[in-house]
Structure 1
Amino acid sequence: MKVGCSSGTSRNLPLQPLNEAMATAWGKNYWVIDQVKHAMYKAYFRNEEAMDSVIRRQPWSLDKDNLLIEVFGVPERFRVPHMMRYVIEKIAQTSDIHSPPEISMKITSDFVEAYAKMDIRMPVKDKVKYFVGPNEYILLYINYGKIKRICTFCGVMFHTVDFCPNRRKLIHHLISIGARTASVPFSYVGLWTSQVSKIPEIAFELNTNQR
């Protein structure tokens, strides 16, 4: 969370009054707030469900956040710092509270991860083309860490396709003009953005075959 000011200059807030105010606003969902740096604070919640509840229902002013991004399908020889920066700049911005991706990126057997600053009001990208030659590229699959609800229709976080306002609006419009609604798709965005188990098998095959 960042603290804004009408004069244009951000300012620090005393932690105790801030914690008391958030406890009143967020109730049992909330745990504690700590200061990260000047005019920037991090809120901790009891669990993921509590965090989602606050974001969806309770007082909150939120547009951008630093999220953990996991990139699947990267062959071992391409797991280099400039690759991670390339991916992050394609889908968002580099984090403003973490070290640059060249420094903070972590490599596991299946994926590469780093933090990115994202506008959570905007659709996510589910994959990125990473060019390894003039006419050759690898398709990288993106998972957004702990975000468990990403709409496969509009790509926006914190709701599912069953409750997508954009899809419902389209269906209502089609009904109003007497058009068929059966052709309205459920998915434009890969389910793997929020569910690692849905990462296409080819991503893991690339890891094995192109080391």
Structure 2
Amino acid sequence: MASSSSPSLEVEDLYKRLNLEEESGGITVKAEEDGKKEGQDFNWSLVGRFLTDRQINFTAMQNTLASIWRHVKGVCIKMIGPNLYLFQFFHELDVSRVINDGPWTFDQHLLIFKSLELGMNPHQVPLFQVDFWIQVYDLPIGYMSERVARDVGNFLGKFVEADSNNFTGIWRDYKRIRVSMDIRLPIKRRMKLKKIGEEWSWINFKYEKIPTFCFFCGVIGHFDKFCEKLFDYLDKSGKNSMVYGSEHHQGELQ
């Protein structure tokens, strides 16, 4: 007995099923020599954004960064999305200097960047961490060891390195540590520490090259008059109670 369905419809259904199977499948790509070369190039690339809701003047930004970076072999800057940029360097020394000498700003807006690695999608790289050099004041004698530097750095964010001059015999008013900080969190003004059997001591922090930050909430990237938490810091007399205060701001290094 002949089938009641049309042969053309059966072929059409089969074709649809094949298409669905193809779309849900995948392949494993073998890394060839071209892929290695591409990965090598991307080791000299950064993806970044500026900490602002405003539109960036792309041409002015290019010229400004080219002027302050003074890269020897050049850099190609591309806009790959709204407030998202790809910085392609052409020599390892140029990109290393940009990474190590930061943080950088344009028009007072902090540049947040991350090195690209093979397999990364530039549009999906989380951009919230910035490395800052931080000066540590009022450390008691005998407290600045490599271990203490690391513990203090991890209190502030994620310890990156300590200034090698910290551990020389020359007396200095402060020690320096480099810390990777989440810019979504308030900066820390001070902390207390002690050794077993001793009294607590307060140590204070000053941030090098810190951009605009809020006196009320301590978050980098906006002024206090634009802070959503502004009214949470108003005292009963109606005066602004600045948690970070003008005296703290004057101590920060710009």
Match of 1:128 in 2: 191
Q: 1:152 is aligned with what amino acid?
A: F
Q: Is residue 216 of structure 2 the alignment partner of residue 187 of structure 1?
A: no
Where relative contact order (Cα < 8 A, 6+ residues apart) is larger, the structure is 1
Summarize the Cα distance change of 1:43–1:94 in structure 2 as closer, same or farther, 3 Å threshold: closer
Q: Is residue 130 of structure 2 the alignment partner of residue 65 of structure 1?
A: yes
Summarize the Cα distance change of 1:110–1:92 in structure 2 as closer, same or farther, 3 Å threshold: same
Conservation of the 8 A alpha-carbon contact between 2:108 and 2:211? no
TM-score (norm 1): 0.58
- Name the larger-Rg structure: 2
Listed as ranges, the matches of 1:21-170 within 5 Å are 24=59, 26-31=61-66, 32=69, 34=89, 42=98, 50=106, 52-53=108-109, 55=111, 62-95=127-160, 100-101=161-162, 104-107=163-166, 109-134=172-197, 136-167=199-230, 170=232
Work out the CA distance in 2 between the residues paired with 1:49 and 1:105: 26
Summarize the Cα distance change of 1:126–1:91 in structure 2 as closer, same or farther, 3 Å threshold: same
| Percent identity for Structure 1 against Structure 2 | 19
Q: 1:28 is aligned with what amino acid?
A: N
Question: 1:181 Cα shift?
Answer: 7.0
TM-score (norm 2): 0.50
Question: 1:131 Cα shift?
Answer: 1.2
Conservation of the 8 A alpha-carbon contact between 1:67 and 1:115? yes
Conservation of the 8 A alpha-carbon contact between 1:128 and 1:141? yes
Summarize the Cα distance change of 1:148–1:128 in structure 2 as closer, same or farther, 3 Å threshold: same
Match of 1:204 in 2: none
Question: 1:111 Cα shift?
Answer: 0.4
Conservation of the 8 A alpha-carbon contact between 2:206 and 2:252? no
Work out the CA distance in 1 between the residues paired with 2:62 and 2:207: 27
Question: 1:13 Cα shift?
Answer: 3.3
Q: Is residue 42 of structure 2 the alignment partner of residue 13 of structure 1?
A: yes
CA deviations 1:93-124 (Å, max 9, x no partner) are 022xxxx43xx453362100010010012111
Question: 1:184 Cα shift?
Answer: 6.1
Work out the CA distance in 2 between the residues paired with 1:36 and 1:167: 44
Q: Does 68-77 or 115-124 show the bigger shift?
A: 68-77
Summarize the Cα distance change of 1:190–1:140 in structure 2 as closer, same or farther, 3 Å threshold: farther
Q: 2:151 is aligned with what amino acid?
A: Y
Work out the CA distance in 1 between the residues paired with 2:190 and 2:184: 18
Match of 1:8 in 2: none
Unpaired runs of 5+ in structure 2?
Answer: 1-38, 48-56, 70-74, 76-88, 113-125
Unpaired runs of 5+ in structure 1?
Answer: 1-10, 175-179, 199-211
Question: 1:83 Cα shift?
Answer: 1.5
